[in-house]
A = this chain, B = another copy of it.
Amino acid sequence: MNAAPITGQGPLAIICGGGTLPLAVADAVTARGRAVVLFPLRGAAEGTAVERFTHHWVHIGQIGKFMRLARAAGCRDVVFIGALVRPSVWQTRPDLGGLMMLPRALAAFRGGDNHLISGMGRLLEQEGFRLLGAHEVAPEILIPQGVMGRVAPSPRDDADIALALDYLAAAGPFDIGQAVVVASRHIIAVEAIEGTDLMLERVAGLRANRRLRAPVGTGVLVKAPKPGQDRRFDLPTMGPQTVDNAALAGLAGIAVIAAATIAAQPSELVRAADRAGLFVIGVPDRTAP
């Protein structure tokens, strides 16, 4: 992890689905001095967030329009990232239907179907582009293995992390949120569609009303990619806000899968963790081949 990034000539084209990953990659590549051109997908990408960058909105089926605009911008390298599974896309499917060049696209993205990716990669490559993964162009956005700040997990925290990883492995096939809070070897909260922040808010509430009586400073938030998740599209993301919310929930720290989790604002994240006295650790990926 944190290997040397793949570099190339000209600006990097980033086809942006939903979530923070496309923007984290755009920021990382820009910080290294390479220009980016964003191609946010209508119905998937977040509207205002892309405006900081040169960008062209496209529909999911408009590969021809994408290639024309990308060539005009001098782009050869293409990264295609971000979730297409947000409810907003899912709901607008009827509108997108007529625009889709690839009829299986949505279903395929949803399941992380590698056929689609390789098919699109071949198409782009036949046209002279090169399709790369986000972790290849911006490896520094991935959280490395080991402790990130000044605080390390205790043996009790390690036991909670192990239980959480066991649970997430068991729950993975059910396509749920892939985050969980464990305290003193008990599962306190499971994230489904509500998101990590709302789950942490719930844990804070359970402490406030004494349903959770483990002392403040016990318990871990553990996040992991879903087992079938195609990591070229979407990865769990964590930022300073996650650390602040974990602190409000009275947790001891946060564990994520190393090299498979995006750090939004990594230096602020570490500062927030050190300030709150929380650990943040990247743990080995047990599912890695």
Q: Please, which residues of chain B bring their CB within 8 A of the CB of A181?
A: 192
Q: A91-B213, A163-B174, A174-B166 are in contact. Are A189 and B189 (CB under 8 A)?
A: no
Shortest CB-to-CB span from A219 to chain B, Å, is 11
Q: Please, which residues of chain B bring their CB within 8 A of the CB of A129?
A: none
Does the CB pair B187–A176 fall under 8 Å?
A: yes
Q: A211-B87, A211-B194, A212-B87 are in contact. Are A175 and B187 (CB under 8 A)?
A: yes
**Total count of chain A residues near the partner, CB < 8 A:** 30
Does A53 belong to the interface (CB within 8 Å)?
A: no
The answer for the CA separation of A108 and B91 in the assembled complex, in Å, is: 49
Identical chains bound together, number:
2
Footprint of B on A, CB under 8 Å? 87, 90-91, 163, 166-167, 170-171, 173-176, 181, 186-195, 198, 202, 206, 210-213
Q: Please, which residues of chain B bring their CB within 8 A of the CB of A194?
A: 189, 202, 206, 211
Name which residue of chain B comes closest to A163, CB basis.
B174
Q: Please, which residues of chain B bring their CB within 8 A of the CB of A163?
A: 174
Q: A193-B206, A194-B202, A202-B202 are in contact. Are A187 and B174 (CB under 8 A)?
A: yes
Between A and B, 29 residue pairs with Cβ closer than 8 Å are A87-B210, A87-B212, A90-B213, A91-B213, A163-B174, A167-B171, A167-B176, A170-B171, A170-B173, A170-B174, A171-B171, A174-B187, A175-B186, A175-B187, A176-B187, A176-B190, A187-B192, A187-B193, A188-B192, A188-B193, A189-B193, A189-B194, A190-B190, A190-B192, A193-B206, A193-B212, A194-B202, A194-B206, A195-B211
Given A87-B212, A188-B193, 18 more A-B residue pairs with CB atoms under 8 Å apart are: A87-B210, A90-B213, A91-B213, A166-B174, A167-B174, A167-B176, A170-B170, A170-B173, A171-B171, A175-B186, A181-B192, A188-B192, A189-B193, A189-B194, A190-B192, A193-B206, A193-B211, A194-B211
Interchain CB contact (< 8 A) of A193 among B167, B176, B186, B191: B186
The answer for the CA separation of A195 and B188 in the assembled complex, in Å, is: 11
Q: Please, which residues of chain B bring their CB within 8 A of the CB of A167?
A: 171, 174, 176
Q: Please, which residues of chain B bring their CB within 8 A of the CB of A213?
A: 87, 90-91
The answer for the CA separation of A167 and B173 in the assembled complex, in Å, is: 9
